[in-house]
Each structure stands twice: as structure tokens, then as C-alpha cells.
Amino acid sequence: MTNYKIDDTGLVPIYKDDQDDNLVNARDLHEGLEIKRQFSDWVKDQIHSLELVENLDWQSFTPKSDKPLGGRISEEYLLTLDTAKHIALASRTDKGKQIRKYFIDVEKKSKNILANISRKDLAFMVIKSEEEKEALQQITYSQQKQITTLKPKADMHDRFMQANNNVSMGTLAKVLNIKGLGRNNLFKKLKEIGMLMKNNQPKQEYINAGYFEVIVKPIAIGQNVVNQPITLVTAKGQNYIYNKLKQYFNL
């Protein structure tokens, strides 16, 4: 489980999770922007007014608490860094502009650090990363090669079933190799089909049918541990989704 801040200069701490995504605690952002409104009202208003999508732009969690039984436990929110920048800009204050610039500078700093790594260190990092991701990359490459070589009328059922593995939604979008179908558009289409709920989680009936598996990855944010749900698509689900998407893309 990854648990570290990539920057904490006194403005707003930025965290990185197991998927290498940058995250911001909404309460930290609320404090950094010097918002006078109550946090719970403010954050819900941001989600509504900016049309933020749960599990894509933000997710909520309940922190560990030392409060006695019966005490009120506050709900916390994690934001993607892009969402935090959007909220900071939307505040239309000098503080908001300052924090947004700070977020951008942190991203640039991270990129510059990577650019200045010695060739030896970079090679070591690449080797280590490849060892961790080799299995998934081989599966993804194999599926992409299989799909792109299929004739238009070929049935993909056997191809998916032979893979016998679960993949993320982002990987599935790449495997399907449909022009214009990225991860976010895949979520959108599956909600239109009725397989996903508004929060982008699969409906229980499709989990029971063996099309999806939802796993939970713990992410530590300071003293709190957030259980982040990850949706995986089974081989059976990959074939089912492909057939459903044919009508949208005239395959």
C-alpha cells in the first residue's frame, strides 16, 4: 500500500496512491482556500455545481475517530489533482489562483525530477517497473494483437475467454481498440447500457452474472486508511461488453 506525500509545503498536501494518481484531501483544500463556509456544505456544493463524478473526480471515506460512541463522525473526500485545480480556479480568489499555480508547479517539479534522473537510476527504475507490470503488459499486448487481427465478422468470444484474466476499465478500453473509446467514454456507454450505476460501480446483477469483479485497495492518507473500490472486467464480461458496444460503433 502506497502511503506518502509528494509535496507538503504548507499550502495543500498532495498524496500519491497505488495507481500513481495524485490526490488531494478536500478538507485540506477547504482550509487552504480559507473558505468560511462549513466544510460539508461547501464540498457538496462543489460536487453539484461543477458536476463532479464520483469515483472519477472524487470519492468519500469515513476516517478513523477517537470520538466516543454516539459522537458525530465527519465524512471526508478525496479529489483528483485535476479536480482540485478546477475547484481552486472556480473559487475566483487570489488564494485560489495561488493554490492552482502551486498544484501545477508540483506537477512540473515531479516531471523535472524524472527528466534529471541519471541514466543508471532510470534504467534501474524501468527494470523494477517492468518486473512489476510484465504480466499485465503481456496480457494486454496479446489481447490487442488478437483483436486487431480479427476479421470484422469474427466472433470475439473465444479470444476473450482464452485470456482468462480480469482487466481494469482503462485496459479494456485499450484492448477493445475502438476509435474514440477511452476510459471515461467506456464508463459513459456502460451507464447508458445499464450495466453501471451513476457512481460508475457495476450493478449487482452483472457482478453476480460474472461480468465484473470489484476489489478494494487500501490507500493511507495521513492517519486514515481509505478503501478505494476498483472495478475489474472478467473475460466473460469483456466478450459481453464488446457485443453490446457493436450497436454503438457499427462493428
Give residue 161's pLDDT.
Answer: 43
Give residue 109's pLDDT.
Answer: 77
Give residue 105's pLDDT.
Answer: 87
Q: Is the pLDDT of residue 157 over 70?
A: no
Helices (H), the chain: 26-32, 39-49, 81-90, 94-115, 119-148, 157-163, 169-176, 183-193, 204-208, 235-249
Question: What is the average pLDDT across 175-199?
Answer: 83
* pTM score over 0.85: no
Q: What is the average pLDDT value for the chain, to the nearest integer? A: 76
Q: Is the pLDDT of residue 131 over 80?
A: no
Question: What is the average pLDDT across 55-61?
Answer: 86
Render pLDDT for 164-175 as a digit per residue (tens, 0 to 9). 578 888 888 887
Of 69 and 35, the structure prediction assigns the larger pLDDT to 35
Phi-psi region of 55 (alpha: psi -120 to 50; beta: other; left: phi over 0): left
CB 41 within 8 Å of CB 30 = no
Give residue 79's pLDDT.
Answer: 93
Closest CA to 50 of 82, 19, 28, 3: 82
Give residue 55's pLDDT.
Answer: 83
244 φ/ψ angles, rounded to the nearest 5 degrees = -70, -35
What share of the chain has pLDDT > 90, as a percent?
27
Render pLDDT for 189-229 as a digit per residue (tens, 0 to 9). 888 888 998 888 899 999 999 999 988 877 777 667 777 78
Of 233 and 125, the structure prediction assigns the larger pLDDT to 233
Give residue 111's pLDDT.
Answer: 67
Say how far apart CA 159 and CA 148 lie, in whole Å.
11
Question: What is the average pLDDT across 25-42?
Answer: 93
Give residue 147's pLDDT.
Answer: 53
CB 202 within 8 Å of CB 194 = no
Which of the residue ranges 90-99, 152-161, 202-211 would you say has the lowest mean pLDDT?
152-161
Give residue 129's pLDDT.
Answer: 57
* pLDDT classification of 122: cutoffs 50, 70, 90: low
